[in-house]
Structure 1
């Protein structure tokens, strides 16, 4: 094991916060006293509460809380308030926002103080609930991203699937499966997370919150870290990558001629392609943000528990804090991506959040501009089903 046994998820839930150890011999003493792993050796040295991290991390988490609540709340309110926004992609995006806002409301306030306080002061129930919500929210995020990618794939392979059948009911069923699966997969964190007492060099005792039960160390931390990486990162990223590769292959092979194309108009083809690509770009931005925010955390956990010769130094200490903060940043940035990439959502953002400012005209893709009017005229010469399909795809978050 690395010289500092502290590096896993316990730091994410509020443990005895101190800087990295200066004397490796303290590792054995700490393990003998507490029989725990993470941040174990850090209890013997100067506390982080005296450094800049103790100030910067709570400030960052305060920003995450404000931006996340307002942004995700606006997304949920927008789709709930406007019936024309209740399509399959937007329902899944609401599911994503619900998972993020629950994590922000439940976990962020407690996690914001773990680099400031030297002991976990919130009790064992909050410790369990904090870890449970983190894993549950992570599950909702990754499974929803898979569902969004699959939906975009079907929109290109079979465009008629989005306008036939009970799409709302199907979407709600998918959301229900996502949340049920996430709740079940988070149960081990509720069972095994607990608080423990650790004796420091000065003779005082402090409390730590850890997801790793002392009796199951060191096998359980390794298994948990690996399973979390495979289930919540590797498999979802590979699956999503497959859907996007297939979408790219179909678009290239078709030569800008979409499946089920009924109209021979070049403008009609371009409109259909642009509408579907625009939604796919929004979903891809969510996936890209997720990878950037969660990859450092998984790299750190796997390094700590599997690199037995690794040394916990200043680099890994900084990387630990960096990865920890990014996992929570992921819960507040998706609404920002929607604002910049979706003109439809941007219109409602401006309406609900900036209603007190002078109104700025925002482009509406459904307005009867001369170009759009000509496009609609062309479409009307096609079948009514094709016309409905084009409008449906144009409204999907764009």
Structure 2
């Protein structure tokens, strides 16, 4: 299955009484509009569409039994998820705003501590970007039948989601490397200057923006002919192979490789700290023995 975005999509219809109804919509090759193949009598002003699967992942099959089993969870998610997103938004924005305000007023140290200062500031900015540019739109998407923000925000919000999340991950990697260099007492190296710290932060953003560059090109606003459904913002690829390659690339560069680097760096930090403590304790024991020998 390597054709274009040709698929059938199971749309679940829920009315206000909780009754589950469903219909199929087919996305033709090259089209961005779904055409109904079900009885139009199932569509009314009271129905609410719930997305179960992307109309660009291939043929989707479903039965009435499977739909009924998911009806209650869909209704609860439409309320629970926005409330959870709202709490995360308020707490996250408040906390990161305080961090940014404190760090922004603090003079960047000229020593190696300037690295940590800039990285923490950059991490808070990336988290704020994610909270402000992504969370409100995703929470609204759970409440409404479709995407109401237009094609531009369909692309921009998902691009901001991927890029800000990747910047946060890259910053955590940079912090782990910085902690390792600190333990190793690499302070006078050219890697430990304020200029290199700023260049490092800029490089993190550039790499994250480049890695997320394909996202807006594959986010598509799909319109459905039934009025209650509204448009959907989906990730559509011309070939399934291209989608898999990109997902494997992002998984490797934004999760697997960063996780490996972080684990290695902090393992080495623990090793060097343990060795220093062990050496210090040995020196203390030797000095204590010398004191005893003198008194004896």
TM-score w.r.t. the length of structure 2 is: 0.68
Structure 1, gaps ≥5 residues long: 2-15, 259-263, 267-398
Q: How does 1:235-314 map to 2 (within 5 A)?
A: 235-257=257-279
Tell me how far apart the structure 2 counterparts of residues 132 and 146 of structure 1 sit (CA, whole Å).
21
How large is the RMSD of aligned CA atoms in angstroms?
A: 3.7
Aligned residues: 238
Higher relative helix content: 1
Tell me how far apart the structure 1 counterparts of residues 95 and 78 of structure 2 sit (CA, whole Å).
26
Computing the radius of gyration from Cα coordinates, the structure with the larger value is 2
Tell me how far apart the structure 2 counterparts of residues 49 and 248 of structure 1 sit (CA, whole Å).
44
Q: Is the 2:79–2:143 Cα contact (8 Å) retained in structure 1?
A: yes
In the alignment, is residue 174 of structure 1 matched against residue 200 of structure 2? yes
Change in 2 beyond 3 A, CA 1:237/1:84: same
Change in 2 beyond 3 A, CA 1:69/1:135: same
In the alignment, is residue 195 of structure 1 matched against residue 217 of structure 2? no
Structure 2, gaps ≥5 residues long: 2-10, 15-19, 29-33, 36-54, 285-296
Q: Show the counterpart of 1:109.
A: 136
Tell me how far apart the structure 2 counterparts of residues 104 and 39 of structure 1 sit (CA, whole Å).
34
Deviations 1:19-74 (A, max 9, x none): 8xx99x977x64665762389779x9688897121111111111111111111111
Tell me how far apart the structure 1 counterparts of residues 92 and 114 of structure 2 sit (CA, whole Å).
23
Q: Show the counterpart of 2:245.
A: 223
Tell me how far apart the structure 2 counterparts of residues 50 and 157 of structure 1 sit (CA, whole Å).
52
Higher relative strand content: 2
**Which one of the candidate residues 97, 116, 121 is aligned to 2:148?**
121
Tell me how far apart the structure 2 counterparts of residues 135 and 83 of structure 1 sit (CA, whole Å).
31
Deviations 1:215-270 (A, max 9, x none): x1422332233222111111110111111222223233444448xxxxx996xxxx
Q: CA deviation at 1:119?
A: 1.1
Change in 2 beyond 3 A, CA 1:97/1:31: same
Tell me how far apart the structure 2 counterparts of residues 256 and 90 of structure 1 sit (CA, whole Å).
30
SS of equivalent to 2:246 = helix
Q: Is the 1:136–1:182 Cα contact (8 Å) retained in structure 2?
A: yes
